[in-house]
């Protein structure tokens, strides 16, 4: 079956991108997305490290922001081993695979987000994910190299889906068309713009934390496309939209 997109945010070394591409193809994955790689792209070091997986690199898409990279995706897991102090669901790779497979079985795009080698994902990036993906490791030495992390998740994908071309979607994963990230980000920006206008997001030094909390709240709701459209209509109505005329009114 088709697989999830693997998104590498601000990767620093071409060698790690190449090693990640090789690991992806080992386990049947080809949708590689890069967010502002530090080194020039295309990259010779990446091609040398990829060996026989250069086709994955050739098909890789480069984006300037995480919003662009995940715009067409619904379900997204953010890989991190650090406690983000966020109210966000946490899953291991083997727990995440059935959810990802269920989305793909319903013709929905999904993905896994990986952070840069030095710092990992920012909180702002993690907020855009539906859940956190954590690889169980030695608590005394938990840090994984970027390509290693990609390899572990890709392996779990292969193990959980190989030889299962007719994946049956569990009832708990069946739902109406979910909002993709482009829909959600548009809603976030809409309501946050109105809250800025009414000075709700005040004082300025607390705005980032307030926005983060709100976005996590909306992500946990698992909103469908129609629900997002309804919420946007509600915001418009509450912020000066035209009132409907009652019968008989002129």
**pLDDT value of residue 176:** 74
**pLDDT value of residue 240:** 81
**pLDDT value of residue 163:** 74
Domains in the chain (CATH in brackets) are 5-171 (3.40.1280.10), 181-238 (no CATH)
**pLDDT value of residue 142:** 84
**pLDDT value of residue 85:** 76
pLDDT in tens, 131-175: 999 999 998 998 899 999 999 999 999 999 987 656 677 766 666
What are phi and psi for residue 62, nearest 5 degrees?
-105, 130
**pLDDT value of residue 21:** 98
Neighbouring C-beta atoms of residue 247, cutoff 10 Å: 4
**pLDDT value of residue 98:** 93
d(CA 78, CA 75): 10
**pLDDT value of residue 27:** 97
The residues of the chain scoring below 70 in pLDDT are 1, 164-167, 171-175, 241-250
What predicted TM-score, i.e. pTM, was given to this entire model? 0.88
CA angle 62/67/71 to nearest 5° reads 85
Find residue 33's DSSP bridge partners.
7, 61
**pLDDT value of residue 191:** 97
Question: How many helices and strands in the chain, by DSSP H and E?
Answer: 10, 7
Q: Which pair of tokens denotes residue 3?
A: 């697989």
With 0-12 / 13-18 / 19 or more C-beta atoms within 10 angstroms meaning exposed / middle / buried, residue 215 is buried
**pLDDT value of residue 16:** 97
**pLDDT value of residue 48:** 97
């Amino acid at each position: 079956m088709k697989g999830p997109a693997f998104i590498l945010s601000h990767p620093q070394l071409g060698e790690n991108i190449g090693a990640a591409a090789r690991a992806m193809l080992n386990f049947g994955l080809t949708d590689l997305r890069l967010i502002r790689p530090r080194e020039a792209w295309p990259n010779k070091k990446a091609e040398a490290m990829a060996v026989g997986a250069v086709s994955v690199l050739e098909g890789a898409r480069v984006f300037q922001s995480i919003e662009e990279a995940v715009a067409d995706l619904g379900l997204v897991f953010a890989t991190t081993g650090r406690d983000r102090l966020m109210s966000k669901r946490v899953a291991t790779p083997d727990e995440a695979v059935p959810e990802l497979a269920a989305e793909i079985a319903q013709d929905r795009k999904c993905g896994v987000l990986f952070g840069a080698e030095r710092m990992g994902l920012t909180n702002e990036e993690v907020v855009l994910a539906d859940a956190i993906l954590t690889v169980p490791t030695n608590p005394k030495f938990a840090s994984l190299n970027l390509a290693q992390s990609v390899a572990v998740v890709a392996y779990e994908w292969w193990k959980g889906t190989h030889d299962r071309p007719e994946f049956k979607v569990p009832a708990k994963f069946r739902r109406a068309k979910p909002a993709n990230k482009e829909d959600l980000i548009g809603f976030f920006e809409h309501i946050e713009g109105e809250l800025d206008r009414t000075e709700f997001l005040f004082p300025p030094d607390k705005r980032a934390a307030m926005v983060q909390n709100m976005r996590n709240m909306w992500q946990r709701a698992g909103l469908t496309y129609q629900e997002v459209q309804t919420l946007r209509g509600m915001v418009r109505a509450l912020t000066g939209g035209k009132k409907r005329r009652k019968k008989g009114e002129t």
